[in-house]
Chain A
Amino acid sequence: SAVISQKPSRDICQRGTSLTIQCQVDSQVTMMFWYRQQPGQSLTLIATANQGSEATYESGFVIDKFPISRPNLTFSTLTVSNMSPEDSSIYLCSVELLDTSTDTQYFGPGTRLTVL
């Protein structure tokens, strides 16, 4: 596996503001993904972070609300824009490793976001 870190680990934000979450991996990966896990719910895929090109968003998620960057093979950011209390959630990045033939995803520790 790989060591995946996320910053911040948690934050409390005011509505209308934006927060950028960072995901860093200690080895090269093929794919990076961003998920949301709302309280008591399972994981929902927000988007696939593509290196050097625009992210691929799932139905119900748009770039204006969740802009994503991936400048290289080991780093990605997710911004939650113009936040509302409904955005309170855990945000998780996951990766598929370069040195494996499987499509297994490994998850970072998550960012717990509370919007007041």
Chain B
Amino acid sequence: QKEVEQNSGPLSVPEGAIASLNCTYSDRGSQSFFWYRQYSGKSPELIMFIYSNGDKEDGRFTAQLNKASQYVSLLIRDSQPSDSATYLCAVTLRNSGAGSYQLTFGKGTKLSVIP
């Protein structure tokens, strides 16, 4: 069974600190990895995607991927109260023969940034 696991939280960090969100996945064939942010009552918003091992930085956000350990993380530097949301980790696997990808989501980690 293909699974994506996240700590549900809540994860509380003080304003200005680094928030670290973690995700593990079960399928070694996973090819693409995404982090979405979802505010309460809103739809998921793409934060970052990463395909290769290592780090990828975009502003205050850094995604880290380790395929050998089947682990992907998201670091948020200088956390702001506006970062308070649920962060969803998602991975894709190509459906053999269909030529399409299936995105599998974790249950999300709720982040609370305390002013």
Whether B108 and A103, one on each chain, are in contact in the complex, defined by CB atoms closer than 8 angstroms, is: no
B106 touches A42 (CB 8 A): yes
Closest to A108 in B: B43
Query: Quick check: is B114 within 8 A (CB to CB) of the other chain?
Result: no
Output the least CB separation between B80 and chain A (Å): 22
- Chain A residues bordering chain B, tally (CB within 8 A): 23
4 closest Cβ contacts across the A-B interface?
A107-B43, A42-B107, A110-B43, A42-B105
Q: How many chain B residues touch the partner (CB < 8 A)?
A: 21
Report B's interface with A, CB cutoff 8 A.
32, 34, 36, 42-46, 49, 88, 92, 98, 100-108
A22 interface residue (CB < 8 Å to B): no
Interface flags for A16-41 (1: CB within 8 Å of B; 0: not) read 00000000000000010100000001
A56 to chain B, nearest CB (A): 7
A103 touches B105 (CB 8 A): no
Say yes or no: A104 contacts B49, CB within 8 Å.
yes
Q: How many angstroms from the CA of A35 to the CA of B40 in the assembled complex?
A: 17
Are A48 and B100 closer than 8 Å at their CB atoms?
yes
Bound Cα distance from A1 to B43, whole angstroms: 15
Report 7 cross-chain contacts, Cβ distance below 8 Å, ordered by A residue.
A42-B106, A45-B102, A56-B100, A102-B32, A103-B101, A105-B46, A107-B43
Q: Which B residue sits closest to A58, measured CB to CB?
A: B102
Q: How far apart sit A104 and B33, CA to CA, in the bound complex (Å)?
A: 9
B43-A92 in contact (CB<8A): yes
Q: Are A102 and B107 in touch, CB under 8 angstroms?
A: no
